[in-house]
Chains A and B, each alone.
Chain A
Amino acid sequence: MKHLLSINDLGAEGIDEVCRLADHFTEVSQRPIPKVPALRGKTVAMLFYEDSTRTRLSFEVAARRLSADVMGFSVSASSVNKGESVRDTVATVSAMGPDAIVVRHRSAGVPQQTAAWTDASVINAGDGWHEHPTQALLDCYTIRDRLGSVAGRRIVIVGDIKHSRVARSCVMAFTVLGAKVTLVAPPTLLPPEVGSWPVDISFSLDAVLSDCDVVYGLRVQKERQSEALLPSLREYTAQWGLTAARAARLHPDALVMHPGPVNRGVEIAPEVLDQPNATLNEQVRHGVAVRMAVLYLLLAADPDLRPEGAGT
């Protein structure tokens, strides 16, 4: 595998391989000195056209724990502000010889385009409403860690499905691993193509709560709410928020997940976030190990040398 642009690049076999490898990197992260020389001499460039705290930090920590060098790039302090196109910026960064470029952009498809413009491996760190594959991978890893497997789990994803790249990648990852996914959202926040997805759809969180293994809350994306698709945040919380009363009806072992950053009291009540079955911090911690696994798989071995059955 040269790039990670979509969860579809991996398939069930590849997701399993990333998770197995992430187990080893979890152990590395627990060592007194949590660093291995595996990617010494490799360079990972960060090309973030959109704000990010956890994804960018997570990739940087992952690269450094593998002894790779990190080329930082922040749009606000770059020639992008002078009007440089994405293509020219990619060419400039590529000319400095990175082995991987981690791309986030507000438009869908930019990572795919980037892959065509560079010899480096490209990792999609979120493109528009399209995909965020490493988020889905760390969510699979978290569910596997807590519940043993993703297969057969009943997973409810609630919130703004339409504008969520996390939802798209997670739906693909969870279903290809054999989970039963139910999407819960106001009708205005479902994408038009949702009918072709292998999921159930419900407009009522209350109807599906007592019968699931995971509730996955999506962030209400205030910055994408120009179209007035919601009457108000309070209305959203009343209908689709995971309040303390709703959380009390969950199975005691059911997980409460969220990709962050969370709007406390909107998608999930603060007291629910503090319960032991809320996995937000674990998701962040696992994100480092999972991204180490992805970088290692893309950069450590010659693709021609990959063993049989180890993904594409």
Chain B
Amino acid sequence: MEAEDIKRATWRMAHEIIERNQGLEGVVLVGLQTGGVWLAADIASALNEIEGVEPPLGTLDVAFHRDDIGLRPLLPEAPTNIPFNLDGQAVVIVDDVLYTGRTIRAALDALNSYGRPRTVQLAVMVDRGHRELPIRPDFVGKNLPTRRDEMVDAHRDGIDLGEIVK
């Protein structure tokens, strides 16, 4: 995928978010640190261009909610900033790559601390499979079958696929 494809996929997901929620009433975006933040910002500006409304945009680092604390070093990488109440809102979690689903589980756990959303949806640029939990995305840029030992990186300029160096 090239930069143009990423942009088209971002716009398509923006349209799908509007369609699913019948507008942007009560829709808020939460980008996961660090990979999902650029995508959340891009979806938010696409939503703004389409609907003329910029939805509230937050960031979330899930380090303190992960289930593998103690198994590897887990220090938060970037700030969490959710300056709005989530009670009754439609929260769209945004991340770059969906893999095992454990990050999303941690994100769902963290969101509980900020209120009780009406609904939580998930938007990802890449779904690479290999889920370990019953989690599925609502909005997907691209489904990309991978091996477990591959590394996937999604950013504004495209998607990189690499081998994990062991």
Contacts and interface: CB of A to CB of B under 8 A. Distances in A.
Given A21-B75, A24-B79, A300-B74, A38 B69 contact: yes
Contacts of A24: 61, 63-64, 76, 79-80
Interface string A7-23: 00000000000000101
Contact of A34 (B71, B81, B113): B113
A37 B115 CA distance: 16
A227 to B, nearest CB: 46
A39 B80 CA distance: 19
B61 A31 contact: no
Interface stretch (A207-215, A272-280, A304-312): A304-312
A27 B76 CA distance: 12
Contacts of B146: none
Contacts of B166: none
Contact of A301 (B61, B64, B65, B69): B69
A302 B109 CA distance: 23
Contacts of B80: 24, 27-28
B85 interface: yes
A36 B79 contact: no
Nearest to A297: B75
Contacts of B114: 31-33
A246 interface: no
A23 B79 contact: yes
A33 B74 contact: no
B95 to A, nearest CB: 19
Interface string B75-103: 11001111001000000000000000000
Interface string A74-90: 00000000000000000
Contacts, number: 60
A237 to B, nearest CB: 43
B160 to A, nearest CB: 23
Interface string A34-75: 111111000000000000000000000000001000000000
- Among B61, B64, B70, B85, max chain A CB count under 10 A is at B64
Nearest to B72: A305
Nearest to B75: A21
B52 interface: no
Given A21-B76, A32-B115, A305-B73, A37 B65 contact: yes
A36 B72 contact: no
B65 A306 contact: no
A277 to B, nearest CB: 26
Given A27-B81, A36-B64, A301-B70, A307 B113 contact: no
B73 A38 contact: no
B75 A28 contact: no
Contacts of A39: 69
B69 to A, nearest CB: 5
Interface string A278-312: 00000000000000000010001110011100100
Contacts of A300: 69-70, 74
Interface of B: 61, 63-65, 69-76, 79-82, 85, 109-110, 112-115
18 contacts: A24-B63, A28-B64, A33-B113, A36-B65, A37-B64, A38-B63, A38-B69, A39-B69, A66-B64, A300-B70, A300-B74, A301-B69, A301-B72, A301-B73, A301-B75, A302-B70, A307-B73, A310-B75
